[in-house]
Amino acid sequence: MDILSSLGIPLPIATGVLAVLIALIASMGLFGKKNHMPVEGRTVLITGSSEGMGRSAAIQLAAKGANVILVSRNVGRLEEALVDVKAAASSPSTQRFTYISADVSEPDYAAAVIAEATAWNGGCSPDIVWCVAGMSTPLLWTDDGSLSAARRIMDVNYFGSADMSRAVLREWLAPENSTGPGSEPKHIVFTASVLALFAIAGYGPYTPSKWALRGLADTLAMELNLYPDNPVRVHVVYPATITSPGLERENQTKPGVTRKLEEGEPPETPETVARRAIEGLERGEYFVAVSFLGNLMRCGVMGGSPRNNWVLDTLLGWIVPIIYFFVLRDMNGQVKGWSKLHGHPGNKVKATDLSPGSSMKSSSQRGRPTKVTKPAPPPRGRAPRPVAAHLATHEAQVHDDLADHLKADPSSVFGDAGMAADDYAAAAAAAAAMDTDLTEDAHGEAEPEADMDDDHDHGAGTASGLPPHVDLATANMLANGGASDPGSTMSPPGQDQLHEMQHSLAHAQHAHQHQQQHQHQHQHPHPNQHQHQPPAQMSTPQQMQPAHQPMDPSMMKTTEELARDSGYGELNVESALAKRLAREPGQRLAQQRRPEQTLNLGRRSNVEALFAHIAGEPARVPCKNCHKGHGPWTSCVVVDGQMCGSCANCWFNASGARCSFHETRNIQVIPQHSAILPATAPGLAGSDPTYRFSTPHPLLQSHAPAMGSVSHAGTLWTSNPVLQQMVQRAMAEVRAADKATRQLIQIDVTAKQLALQIAEYEDMVSSQGSPGGQQVMGDESGV
Ligand SMILES: NC(=O)C1=CN([C@@H]2O[C@H](COP(=O)(O)OP(=O)(O)OC[C@H]3O[C@@H](n4cnc5c(N)ncnc54)[C@H](OP(=O)(O)O)[C@@H]3O)[C@@H](O)[C@H]2O)C=CC1
Ligand SMILES: CCCCCCCCCCCCCCCC(=O)[C@@H](N)CO
C-alpha cells in the first residue's frame, strides 16, 4: 500500500481496495482448487526461454513434469539453459527436453518451429505454447531512432507472438486434430507487460506492441469458440519490471523520467514472476497479473475482455478509476516536475546521449556542438540519441552468432567491454568514417550493426546521424585506449595525425614484439584490452603519479593464470566478460570457504564469477550474503559496472539478483551512463559501498567521463587496483622496452600529451560560461 499512501490516496479508498483484495484472495482459495493447466507428461514450447523469465518458466515447468522445448536465437545460451532445465526435471528418466534456435522476428518463422517441435515430439504438436520472447528499447517518442525501434519491437514482441500463435493454432484447430469438447485444453500464452494496462512516458516504442497482444488475445478468446471440439485456452501474462538480462539492456536507453515513474512498482526476479504467472495459469486466469498493482491495473482496463472473476474484477474495476485519479495526478506531476527541473528534453544531452567522455555542459550548451567540436556538417535536429546501436548490437550479435554458431554472449554486450550502447553506435560510426583498424571487440559489435542497417533503417540513426565529433572522439578512444573526451575533441587533422602515429607505433611495437617474443605477454596489454584502457594509460609521470610498488613484470599474472593457481584447471572461457577478465591482471587467489566443495565451472556465468572474484575489487563493506558467509569464496569482490553490480560470490550459481549490491535493488543508483554519475551522491554512496562517487582526482577530472566507458568512473585511480595495475603495466612496459621501443613509446606519450592539451584547450573553448568545463552533476539520480 506504500505507493497508495505516498500518492495521497485517502484511507477509505485504500481500505476498500484492501477489502476487495482480501475477497479476491479468498475467492481464489474457494474457486482455485482445480489446476486448469496441468503440465505433467505434456509438452510445453516456450519462446524466449534462454534467459530471464522464459528460462525460469521453463525450469519451473520442468519441475512440474513437463517436456520442454526452448526457443530463442542464441545457441550457446540455449544449451546452457537446457542444462538447467534438465536438471530441474521431476522425472528425468521420462521427461524430454530440447531446444530450437529461431528468430521470432523473421516472417513465417513459426510454422517451421512447430513442425520441428512436432517431429521431435513423436508427431504430436506441443500442448502448451508460451510466447515470452520480447525486447524493449525505452525512448522518448521524439528521440532519434524511436520509430525504427518501435518497428523492430513490433516485429519481435507482437509479430513474433502472433506468428507463433497462428502456426500452432492451425495445428491445434485442424479438423483432424479434434479431441472432443471435454478434452484437456491446449494453451496459448502471450507475455505482455503491465504497460499494456497502464502506459507511462518513455515506453512509446514498446507499449503498443504489448497492447497489440491484448487485442489479439481478446480476438482469439472469442474466435476459439468456433472450435468446440478443439479446446484451446488463451492467456496473457502482465509482468512488471523483471530483473532480467533484458532489463539491463533496456536500461541503456531508458530516459531518466521513465526510471522515476516506474519506481512505483518494485522489480521482481524472473523466478518470482514465472512462478506467479504459472500460478495464475493454473488458476485458469485469462489475464494473468503477477502483482497487487498489476491486478488493479488489470481490473482498470477490462473493457470487453473476458474476466477472470466477473464479480471481483467488476468491483475492483469500479474502484480503479478513483485510484487513477490520484495516480495520474501524481505521475503527470512527476513528469511536469521533471521537465521543470531538467528543461526541454531536446535542449540538452540526455544521459543516453553522452558518449563516454562527454560531460554535461551548461544548459545553454547542452547538445550543441561548438565550432571546435563540430568540424563537419551539423547534426540533424536535436541532440541525437544514438539508439539504433542498442537495437542492433544485442540483436545483430545474435544473428551473427547464429550464422557461425559462435557462443558469444550478447547479454553482456553493454557490460562486458564497459561500453554503453552509445559507444557502439559511435564505434560503428567511427569505423565507417575512419576505416579504423578497430580491435576485435569493437568489430564484434560494430560490424553486425552495419549488417543490420541493410534490413532496418537503424543506420540513419547511427552512422549517418551521429555528429562527427562523437565519431572522432570514439574512434580516438578505440584507437588509443580512450584519451579523449567527445565533448572536447580535437579537430580532425590533429586526430588524424595522432591516429596515424599510433597506428605506426602499434605496428612498430608489433614487429618488435615478433623479434623478441619473450616475457612480454604479461606486460603488454592484449590488443583487445587496449581499447578498454582508461585514458591515462600511457600518460606522463606527473599525470599519473605511478604507484610506488616496484614491479617485477614476471610477477604479474593474468586472472586466468591465478584461477589456475587457485586450483581451477580446465576452464571454459566462453562469455565475453570471462574472456575479458581472463586477460586482466589478477588481484588475488580465489579462496573457497569450503575447500572440499567442487564448484560447477561448466556454467559460463560461474566462470565469470570466478574471474570477477580474482580480478575485481574487494567491497569495502561486504554485501549481505557475503557478510552472512554465503557464496563459494571468502571475500566479497565486485567488478565495477559488471554483473548488474552484484558481487562475484552472489553471481555464482545465480544471476546475483539477491546480492544487496545488485543494481535493481537500488534502482536510483544505477548509472544511466557512468559518465554522468554525480560527483557526490550523499546517502547513496554511503549506503552502497560498491558505488563510490568520489570526486574525480583533479588530474583525471577532464578524462573521468571517458573512463566511464571502462566502468571506472569516479573511482580514484589510487584506490582502484585496475588503474594501479595499469600504471604498473605501463612502468613495466617501459622498463622492459629496448631503446627503439622506448623511442616509440616516447613518441606515443608526446602525441598523447599533445592530444590532451588540444582536448583541454577545446574543452576550455567549448565550455566558456560553464564553470570550468567541469563535469556537471548527472541529472538522472534525482539528487
Ligand atoms: N524485463 C522486464 O522488465 C519486463 C519484461 N517483459 C516481457 O517479458 C518477457 C521476458 O522478459 P525478460 O525476462 O526481461 O527477457 P530477456 O530480455 O531477459 O530475455 C529475452 C529472451 O527472448 C529471447 N529473444 C529475444 N529476441 C528474440 C528473437 N528475436 N527471437 C527469438 N528469441 C528472442 C532471448 O534469447 P536470444 O537473445 O538468444 O534470442 C531471451 O531468451 C518479454 O516478452 C518482455 O517484453 C514484461 C514486463 C517487464
Ligand atoms: C491502479 C493502478 C495503480 C498504478 C500504479 C502505477 C505504477 C507504475 C508502474 C509502472 C511499471 C512499469 C514496468 C515496466 C515493465 C516493462 O514492461 C518494461 N520494463 C519492459 O521494457
Q: Are 80 and 102 in contact (CB under 8 A)?
A: no
87 CA to centre of ligand 1 in angstroms:
22
- Cite the residue boundaries of each domain of the chain with CATH code 3.40.50.720: 35-308
* C-beta of 104 in contact with ligand 1 (< 6 A): yes
Q: Which residue has the cell 506531476?
A: 333
Q: For ligand 2, is residue 135 a contact (CB within 6 Å)?
A: no
Ligand 2 centroid–CA 241 distance in Å is 7
What ipTM goes with this model? 0.99
pLDDT greater than 70 at residue 238: yes
Distance, CA 156 to ligand 1 centroid (Å)? 9
Query: For residue 418, what pLDDT is reported?
Result: 33
Q: Which of 297, 330, 331 to mutate to test the pocket of ligand 2 (most atoms within 8 A of CB)?
A: 297
**Span of 105-119, 139-153, 370-384 with lowest mean pLDDT:** 370-384
**With 60 as the cut, is the pLDDT of residue 2 above it?**
no
Is the CB–ligand 1 distance for residue 677 below 6 Å? no
49-to-82, 214, 349 alpha-carbon distances in Å: 9, 21, 36
DSSP string, 334-390: HHHHHHHHH--GGGS--GGG--TT--PPPTTTTT---TTT--SSPPSSSS----HHH
CA-nearest residue for atom 18, ligand 2, is 241
Residue 155 in contact with ligand 1 by CB distance below 6 A: no
At 762 the pLDDT is: 79
Does the CB atom of residue 208 touch ligand 1 within 6 A? no
Q: Is the CB of 195 under 6 A from ligand 2?
A: yes
Phi-psi region of 465 (alpha: psi -120 to 50; beta: other; left: phi over 0): alpha
List, for residues 681-717, the tens digit of each pLDDT value.
333 333 333 333 333 333 333 333 333 333 333 344 4
The atom of ligand 2 lying closest to the CA of 247 is 19
For residues 579 and 539, the model is more confident at: 579
What is the pLDDT at residue 732? 77
Question: Residue 527 region, left (φ>0) first, then alpha (ψ -120 to 50), else beta?
Answer: alpha
327 CB less than 6 Å from ligand 2? yes
Nearest protein CA to atom 32 of ligand 1, as residue: 72
Instruction: Return the minimum-mean-pLDDT range out of 13-17, 95-99, 603-607.
Output: 13-17
Mutation pick for ligand 2 pocket among 156, 193, 259 (CB with most ligand atoms within 8 Å): 193
Ligand 1 centroid, distance to 441 Cα (angstroms): 24
156 Cα nearest atom in ligand 1: 29
Asked if residue 252 lies in contact with residue 354, where contact means CB atoms within 8 angstroms, the answer is no
How confident is residue 720, by pLDDT bands cut at 50, 70 and 90? low
For ligand 1, the distance from its centroid to the CA atom of residue 209, given in whole angstroms, is 13
**CATH code, residues 35-308:** 3.40.50.720
> What is the set of active-site residues?
206, 210
Residue with CA closest to ligand 1 atom 12: 52
Mean pLDDT of 244-256: 96
Reported confidence tier of residue 159, pLDDT bands at 50, 70, 90: very high
From the CA atom positions of the chain, what is the Rg in Å? 27
pLDDT at 10: 74
Helix axes 388-404, 75-88, angle to 10 degrees: 80
Q: Among all ligands shown, which has an atom nearest to the Cα of 299?
A: 2
Atom of ligand 2 nearest to the CA of 320: 1
The mean pLDDT of 71-85, rounded to a whole number, is 98
Task: Please state which of the ranges 12-21, 62-71, 125-134, 771-780 shows the lowest mean pLDDT.
Answer: 771-780
Give which of 543, 448, 475 is closest to 749, Cα–Cα: 543
C-alpha cell belonging to residue 659: 546480492
**8 A C-beta contact, residue 643 and residue 656:** yes
Report the nearest atom of ligand 1 relative to the CA of 52: 13
Q: Which ligand is nearest to the CA of 237?
A: 1
Residue 780 has pLDDT above 60, yes or no: no
Q: What are the tens digits of pLDDT across the range 639-665?
A: 988 888 899 999 998 878 888 888 766
- Ligand 1 proximity of 145 Cβ (cutoff 6 Å): no
pLDDT, one tens digit per residue, over 146-155 is 999 999 999 9
Q: Is 198 in the pocket of ligand 2 (CB under 6 A)?
A: yes
More confident residue, 5 or 239: 239
Over residues 287-336, the pLDDT tens digits come to 999 999 999 999 999 999 999 999 999 999 999 999 999 999 999 999 99
- Which of 194, 328, 331, 332 to mutate to test ligand 2, by most ligand atoms within 8 A of the CB atom? 194
Burial of 79 (0-12, 13-18, 19+ CB in 10 A): middle
Give me the residue label for grid cell 557526490.
680
Is the confidence at residue 118, as pLDDT, over 90? yes
For a ligand 2 pocket test, name from 241, 258, 260, 316 the mutation site with the most ligand atoms within 8 angstroms of its C-beta: 241
Quick check: 445 and 735 in contact, CB under 8 A? no
